[in-house]
Amino acid sequence: MLLGTGASLAAMAVSGTAQAAAKPMAGEGDAAPQASTPDQIRRMQWWHAAKFGMFIHFGLYSVHERHEWAMENEAIPIGEYQALAPRFNPKPGFAREWAKLAKAAGMKYMVMTTKHHEGFCNFDTKLTDYCATKQGPKRDLVREYVEAARAEGMHVGFYYSLMDWHHPDGARCATDEAARKRFVAYTHGLIRELLTNYGKIDVLWYDVAWPLDAQGWESERMNKMVFELQPDIIVNNRNKLTGDFSTPEQKIVAETNGRAWESCMTLNDSWGYQRADDDWKSSKTIVRNLIKCASGGGNYLLNIGPKPDGSVPEESVQVLNEVGKWMDTNGATIYQSDICQPHRSSYASFTRTGNTLFMHVHFWPGRDVAISGLKTKVKSAHFLKGGQSVKFTQDPYRVHLVELPMEAPDSPVTTLVLECESEPIQDTDFVRREKPRAGV
């Protein structure tokens, strides 16, 4: 699975706890990093606490049922692709199902594709007829989504693809200045509509800036408009500016120096619905990924690719409900977690709140478990689920938790709570060097 590399773990180790106050690094944006402003810290607060969000890829590609890149990857002629529109008619209440599922999974925000690379707008716009209110459903799918998300208490995010495979200027804007001007006006205009017509929007999630750079997109002016329209919003880094957070995709890599980051990931191998993609991740993998993100101070944005009628594939529903059940008991170890340095184990991962270390055992060995090189004194240990206390011994090299049941007490991951005397830090190099060796 896509877990962090050694390098990212080292980065986590040095990044400390004061994530909001530290200096951001350049992510995929081109601009130089700038220190977080008090305003940025204020806008990002809910998002840091949220930790877990739902990404939704929904568009005409959902009708084609072969991944959201089908239009380009199968070189589908424009006329043939447009013929998908009349067949796009999600069932009433589809977005309520998404929002309820997100809530059940323990997610706190949602980010839906308002327009993906295919160019079809899921919202009402005066700027093109290629939109859901004039073709296909003849309804404003973005409005339905926004209302559904709010009804379940979710923060609301908009994904917006700058790259556009449908608009006549979408490619030639790179070489034709008049086309660029038209296309930038169109793009800024659509974003203006999105951020004017739906009330308070919490996240603007730009994607793929091809074929222009920040100057070509007039990204500074774009973000200025965005913040004028939505003073509380946060934006990502994919319009070639640094934005508020980085967006590692299909991998978990912590940013350094307190820069905010969010790993986005699919549940199978496709963002948009692909009927035959059966490469589903297990709830165990998802929980482990969520732990990994939280321990590195990041968020996890997990995708669903609804079917043409808006219903969520059964496999996704099942996994998300299992994750939600785990979050019902274990959620506090994620939402309220600080960056956590300990990470070395062959069967567990760790999160932390202050001096409390959570050992999340995903491969339950039964009988006993141990942590190597913990440099703080453990005062007490207990199971998170059920609260039963756990016996342990500690020497300079090992915390040894013993007399554990053979069966894992929780699923898919069992959490042990270790109250420590100070911030838990792990040093396995010390163990390798100093643990007494035998005589020859």
Q: Using CB under 6 A as the criterion, which residues of the chain lie in contact with ligand GLC when the complex forms?
A: 57, 68-69, 207-208, 249, 264, 271
Nearer to ligand GLC, 264 or 312 (CB): 264
Nearer to ligand GLC, 289 or 426 (CB): 289
Q: How far apart are the C-alpha atoms of 371 and 375, rounded to whole Å?
A: 11
Q: How far apart are the C-alpha atoms of 21 and 38, rounded to whole Å?
A: 8
Token pair 């299909």: residue: 250
- Minimum Å gap between C-beta 286 and ligand GLC is 17
- Minimum Å gap between C-beta 380 and ligand GLC is 42
Nearer to ligand GLC, 109 or 271 (CB): 271
Neighbours of 78 (CB within 10 A): 12
Q: How far apart are the C-alpha atoms of 26 and 244, rounded to whole Å?
A: 10
Token pair 């890599």: residue: 253
Nearer to ligand GLC, 14 or 208 (CB): 208
Q: How far apart are the C-alpha atoms of 343 and 341, rounded to whole Å?
A: 6
- 113 Rama class: left (phi>0) / alpha (psi -120 to 50) / beta: beta
Nearer to ligand GLC, 98 or 392 (CB): 98
Say which amino acid occupies 206: Y
- Minimum Å gap between C-beta 17 and ligand GLC is 28
Residues ≥6 apart with Cβ < 8 Å to 422: 355, 376, 377
C-alpha triplet 43, 48, 53: angle, nearest 5°:
105
- Minimum Å gap between C-beta 61 and ligand GLC is 9
- Minimum Å gap between C-beta 204 and ligand GLC is 14
- Minimum Å gap between C-beta 129 and ligand GLC is 24
Nearer to ligand GLC, 264 or 348 (CB): 264
User: Helices 314-330 & 283-295, crossing angle to 10 degrees?
Assistant: 50
With H, G, I as helix, E, B as strand and everything else as coil, classify residue 221: helix
Burial class of residue 104 in the structure, from the number of CB atoms within 10 Å of its CB (0-12 exposed, 13-18 middle, 19+ buried)? middle
- Minimum Å gap between C-beta 257 and ligand GLC is 23
Nearer to ligand GLC, 144 or 207 (CB): 207
- Minimum Å gap between C-beta 205 and ligand GLC is 8
Give one DSSP letter per residue of 304-315, joined into a string. E---TTSPPPHH
Nearer to ligand GLC, 160 or 350 (CB): 160
Nearer to ligand GLC, 125 or 274 (CB): 274
Two tokens, residue 193: 């509509």
Strands 203-207 and 234-235: parallel
Say which amino acid occupies 415: T
- Minimum Å gap between C-beta 301 and ligand GLC is 8
Nearer to ligand GLC, 46 or 69 (CB): 69
- Minimum Å gap between C-beta 116 and ligand GLC is 6
Do the Cβ atoms of 63 and 118 come closer than 8 Å? Answer: no
Residues ≥6 apart with Cβ < 8 Å to 225: 188, 191, 192, 195
